[in-house]
Amino acid sequence: MMKLTIDGEEVEARDGDTVLDAARRAGAEIPELCAHPAVSPYGACRLCLVEVKRNGRTRMAASCCYPVSDGLTVLTKTEKVQRARRGVMELLLARAPESQALRELGASMGVDEPRFPTVTHAERDCILCGLCVNVCREVIGAAAISFAGRGVDRALAAPFLQSADACIGCGACAAVCPVGSIEIRWGDDEVEVPTFGAKVPAARCEECGTPIGSAPFRERVQGQLAAGLSHATELCPSCKQQHAAAGLSRANRGTASTLPASARPVPL
């Protein structure tokens, strides 16, 4: 355990915590967009800026990437910090002006319209936070997408700007995107990610045939499940429910015969 000061309060933190972790536990409200528990901190959005003081020096730092240390002083709500975050928000809004989530967060910080011209590369709202790229590589293990280009032309893309052949249609990229930039089309026969030009076959419930997501993703998950559990991915929620209910009634019947008469269900 180590001790640091956050907004004048002494707080304890564990080795490996970031300043954002410790500040959140201390009740500080720090806006953030690219800090996700599923992936390593990347520090792309810069919205989580705070002031840190160490060894007599003060600097602005992204709290999601800054490790705690004994004696560190952190300021999360000074005018300087808030002004810097508003500037960052203006830049983000210039990249993703149509994102409702971003507009709401901006409004909560006092930023309604950015001073900067809108960047509408590929007509896509993307703040280049990298969460989708990192979750695809670190968690899913597909590495189907990355960034291409520079400056205002920098954008998400599949390798060599082709369709994302390595995409398994899991939808993790869309799930983590903080501005809703990635569209997934869950069709009857295909799962499509138009953002990356990817298409994979849909998986269907083994019993009723309802589409239940992507076939390659199901195969990936099945390969990681313990023997005898792969059926967990084969049925739609409704068929699983029916199986559970049937399993329960079978169990009840089996158990009832071994119960003392007083504990058995009363026949209707």
Please, which residue, 43 or 114, has the CB nearer to ligand FES?
43
In the complex, the smallest distance separating the C-beta of residue 1 from ligand FES, rounded to whole angstroms, is 24
Please, which residue, 35 or 179, has the CB nearer to ligand SF4?
179
Q: Is 131 in the site for ligand SF4 (CB under 6 A)?
A: yes
In the complex, the smallest distance separating the C-beta of residue 62 from ligand FES, rounded to whole angstroms, is 4
In the complex, the smallest distance separating the C-beta of residue 43 from ligand FES, rounded to whole angstroms, is 4
Contact 44, 34 (CB under 8 A): yes
Q: What phi and psi, each to the nearest 5 degrees, are found at residue 162? A: -95, -175
Please, which residue, 102 or 168, has the CB nearer to ligand FES?
102
Binding to ligand SF4 by CB under 6 A, coded x per residue (else -) over 178-217, reads: -x-xx-----------------------------------
In the complex, the smallest distance separating the C-beta of residue 72 from ligand FES, rounded to whole angstroms, is 17
Binding to ligand SF4 by CB under 6 A, coded x per residue (else -) over 161-180, reads: ---------------xx-x-
Q: From the list 6, 13, 105, 127, which residue makes contact with ligand SF4 (rule: CB under 6 A)?
A: 127
In the complex, the smallest distance separating the C-beta of residue 32 from ligand FES, rounded to whole angstroms, is 3
Contact 127, 155 (CB under 8 A): no
Q: Which stretches of the chain bind ligand FES, using CB under 6 A? A: 32-35, 43-48, 62, 64
Distance CA 212, CA 234 (A): 9
User: CB under 8 Å to 55, separation ≥6 — which residues?
Assistant: none
Of 49, 56, 127, nearest to 85 by C-alpha is 49
From ligand FES, ligand SF4, none, interface partner of 64 (C-beta below 5 to 8 A by class):
ligand FES
Q: Is 88 in the site for ligand SF4 (CB under 6 A)?
A: no
From ligand SF4, ligand FES, none, interface partner of 181 (C-beta below 5 to 8 A by class):
ligand SF4
Contact 226, 232 (CB under 8 A): no
Binding residues for ligand SF4 (CB under 6 A)? 126-132, 156, 176-177, 179, 181-182
